Amino acid sequence: MAAERLSVLGCGRWGGFHLWYGSRVGLATTGWEPAGSAPLEELARKRRNEYLELPEDVRLTTDLSGALKADQVIVSVPAQTFRSLARRIAGRDLSGTDLVLCMKGIERSTGRRLSQVASEEGVKARSLSAWVGPGHPQQLVRGVPSCMIVASERPESAERVARRMGSRLIRFYRSTDLPGVEVGAAAKNVVGIAAGILDGMGYSGLKGSLMARAPQEVARLVAAMGGDWRSVYGLSHLGDYEATLFSPYSRNRACGEALAKGGRTAGLAEGVETSAAICRLAGEYGVDMPITRTVRSILDGALTPGEAIEELFGRPEKEEFPDSFR
């Protein structure tokens, strides 16, 4: 019996891991990037990147039509570029394909979740899922296990993806709360920037308070958007805090630390654009999100980190657990 086919659209840090992992779980794996892509050219030339060595059986291609002929297609591109890729995918026959979004972000210009972007652009597949949760490629390829989550509006879709991709390295949980999981995963990156700012200021002891308060405001937003607030306390958000708020590998935490020290970091930190998108959603749904708003103010240069802490601590006292989203 022929192995099921997996294609990965996007061969960067996480896309490269998905190629490595797809081969590991026995799938016929292909990676796609457009012609001229630096990550694809590096993998094709060296068969490795800075995180891993690509298995010999993994194919690489610039042919999008061919890559889409798969049982499962993982999308692993920057969240803010996904709409342009979705337009290229729209109209293709994906009736036999499970489309899995493996990005943690919200579109800045519209405030749309990425599954909504796919729907708006007319992408039609057998199923649409989001795969998120804690982990770093650097650790996973060394055999450090993790638990992750697959969310889809149809339970059987999440179950099929989890069964196909699960292993001793990644244990999957499932959810039908696509809004809560997508928003929680995206907001986690913004909290990571906040944690880095505290590190850069020498206030790392405040990260405990950050961990307690940030999920509260994200849960309020998820509930207002019609999602299940409990998802915020699961693997998509709170469960990913260790990998984002403390890890030396976290780009969002490093971004925040550099901000506090007056600099910037290289590499993609999805929380930068997502913070603007979440502030937009908070305004649309009438949700108070002081931590997210403060991160955005620092990124915009409206507040220094020191001024931001003073502003947050100057807010009126309140109950720790109001019933606003229960």
Is 246 a residue whose pLDDT tops 70?
yes
Is 214 a residue whose pLDDT tops 70?
yes
The H-or-E segment that residue 60 falls in is strand 59-61
So what's the pLDDT on residue 27? Answer: 98
Q: What tokens appear for 219 in the block?
A: 């849960």
For the question of residue 261 being annotated catalytic, the response is no
So what's the pLDDT on residue 100? Answer: 98
Q: Which of 46, 69, 124, 188 is catalytic?
A: 188
- Contact between 218 and 288 under an 8 Å Cβ cutoff? The reply is no
| Domains of the chain and any CATH numbers | 5-178 (3.40.50.720), 179-313 (1.10.1040.10)
Q: Give the pLDDT mean for 254-265.
A: 89
pTM of the entire predicted model = 0.94
pLDDT in tens, 15-58: 999 999 999 999 999 999 999 999 899 999 999 998 899 999 99
Q: What is the mean pLDDT of the chain?
A: 94
pLDDT in tens, 120-152: 999 999 999 999 999 999 999 999 999 999 999
170-175 vs 125-132, strand pairing mode: unpaired
- Contact between 188 and 236 under an 8 Å Cβ cutoff? The reply is yes
**Residues pairing with 171 in the sheet:** 147
Q: Give the pLDDT mean for 288-307.
A: 95
So what's the pLDDT on residue 153? Answer: 96
